Amino acid sequence: MSTALSSVGEEHALHLDAVDPLPARRADFHVPPATAGRYAEVAYMAGNSLGLQPRATRAVLDQELADWARLGVEGHLEAERPWKPYHEFVRDGAARLVGALPVETVVMNSLTVNLHLMLTSFYRPTRERFAILVEDSTFPSDSYAAQSQARLHGFDSAEAVIRLRPRPGEDCLRTDDVVDVLRTRGHTIATTMLGGVNYLTGELMDIPAITAAAHDAGVIAGWDLAHAAGNVPLQLHEWGVDWAAWCHYKYVNAGPGGPGGAFVHERHASDASLPRLAGWWGNDPATRFRMEPAFVPRPGAVGWQVSTPPVLAFAPLRASLELFDAAGMPALRERSLRLTGYLETLLDVIVAERRAQVLTPRDPARRGCQLSLSVPDARTLAQRLRAEHGVICDVREPDVIRLAPTPLYSSYHDCWRAATALRNLLPAR
C-alpha cells in the first residue's frame, strides 16, 4: 500500500484533525452509527445530498410542539417564537449565508417551487428573446422547470432551453465559453438558470463574471444555488444577481425536505408590477387579515411568499443557521479548502492505479467541498462502501459517486476512511 494511504496515512489524518485551526463541530451533530468497518460512526460524505442533524434541532422542534400543545391557534401570536412572522426568524441568517440583504431574502417552499416562482416573474420571453440558459448537466428538476415554463409561454422547449455543454473531452464548463454564449446568443436569452455549483461535477461557476456577462447582453441573471448555499461564500447582492433559489437540506442541515430560499435583488424586490403567482402570505401583513380580494404585494422578497410558513419545517433551519453564524462562512470555507485538498491528494494516489477519474475542477477556486468521481458501476460501489466500510457517499447514475467533506462535521479521518475504502473496492486499471 502506498504511504499516503497506509496506517501512517491514518495517523497523519488524525494528526490533521487534532491541529486544524477550526476543528469540526462534530459534537454539534448526530453522526449516524456505522454498521460495518472498524469505527463506531459512519464516515459521512453525503452532506451535499442531505446534511446531518444538528443536536440542537430536537429542542427547537420540541419548543414548537410544546407551544402548539399549550396554545393551539393562539400560538400564531403567543408562541415563544410567534408562528405568524416565523419566516422572519430565519430570514437574516439565510441572507448572511448567500450575501444578501434581508429585504432580498425569503425562506419558503422547496427549491423547484421557488425556481418556478422566480421564473414566473423573471422569465418574460418575447419572440426574439425567449431562451433559458442552463448547463447540459443541470439537475433534472431544473430541466423540467425550464422546459415547462417555456411551454407555458407557448415556446418549443427544445428551442427555448439552451443547454451548455463542456468542450469535447472535458467534464466541466469554462467561464470563457459561458461568457461567449452570452455574447453571441445573449440577444435570444431571457434568463439564466445556472447551477452556482453544478450538482454532478461539483464545479463552482464564476457567478460574478457570468452575471456581469449576462447583464451586458441584456439577460436576467438567475441562479440555482442548491449546491452552493452553505458550501461556498456568496455575495449575491454585491454581484448584482437578479434572482436565485436554493435549498437548506444539503449543506445547511435543515432536515429532509427542509424549506428553500429565494433571493430577489433589491432593484426588483419591491417592484409591485412584476408578475407573480400571488398568495396571501405575500400580501402586505397590514391588510392581509382584512380578507379583501385585492393583492398588495409586500415590499421585498417576502412579497413572493404564497402560503403560511410550515413552522415545524422551519424550526430546524433556525438551529442550523445558528451553527453557520457561530462558525462563520469565511472560516468554514478555509477549512473546506483544507479538507477537500486533503481528500484530493488521497484520491490522486487512487486514480493513478485504479479505474476512477475525478470530474471536479482541480483549481480549489472553481469548486466547493464536493469531489465527484467517475467509476465503474457506481451504485454497487456506493453500496459496498457503506456495507463493508461504513462510508456513506451518494451516487448519480450511471457512473458518478460524489464525496463531500463538509467543514462543519466532516474530519480528515473521514476523508482518509473514504479514500482507503475506495482503494480497496475499485478495480485496478
Ligand X SMILES: Cc1ncc(COP(=O)(O)O)c(C=O)c1O
**Residues found near ligand X in the complex (CB under 6 A):** 110-112, 139, 141-142, 195, 199, 224, 226-227, 247, 260
Residue partners of 410: CB distance under 8 A and separation at least 6: 24, 44, 45, 47, 339, 369, 404
First to last CA, the chain: 16
Toward ligand X, which CB reaches closer, 112 or 360? 112
Toward ligand X, which CB reaches closer, 112 or 420? 112
Which neighbouring-strand residues pair with 372? 402
Counting every residue, how long is the chain? Answer: 429
> Smallest gap, in angstroms, from Cβ of residue 140 to ligand X?
8
Q: Which of 303, 102, 138 is nearest to 224 (CA)?
A: 138
Q: For the chain, give the longest Cα–Cα distance.
A: 73
Toward ligand X, which CB reaches closer, 17 or 142? 142
> Smallest gap, in angstroms, from Cβ of residue 250 to ligand X?
7
CA torsion 163→147→94→49, rounded to 10°?
-70
Toward ligand X, which CB reaches closer, 203 or 224? 224
> Smallest gap, in angstroms, from Cβ of residue 145 to ligand X?
8
What does the angle CA 8 – CA 12 – CA 16 come to, to the nearest 5 degrees? 175
- Tell me the C-alpha to C-alpha distance, in Å, between residue 345 and each of 137, 158, 338: 26, 41, 11
> Smallest gap, in angstroms, from Cβ of residue 225 to ligand X?
8
Rounded CA gap, 390 and 423, in Å?
14
Residue partners of 70: CB distance under 8 A and separation at least 6: none
Toward ligand X, which CB reaches closer, 141 or 308? 141
Which neighbouring-strand residues pair with 53? 30
Toward ligand X, which CB reaches closer, 250 or 423? 250
Toward ligand X, which CB reaches closer, 197 or 408? 197
Rounded CA gap, 165 and 9, in Å?
38
Toward ligand X, which CB reaches closer, 28 or 206? 206
> Smallest gap, in angstroms, from Cβ of residue 348 to ligand X?
27
For ligand X, which residue has the nearest CB? 112
Which neighbouring-strand residues pair with 107? 261
Residue partners of 66: CB distance under 8 A and separation at least 6: none
> Smallest gap, in angstroms, from Cβ of residue 195 to ligand X?
5
> Smallest gap, in angstroms, from Cβ of residue 111 to ligand X?
4
> Smallest gap, in angstroms, from Cβ of residue 247 to ligand X?
5
Toward ligand X, which CB reaches closer, 146 or 217? 146
> Smallest gap, in angstroms, from Cβ of residue 254 to ligand X?
11
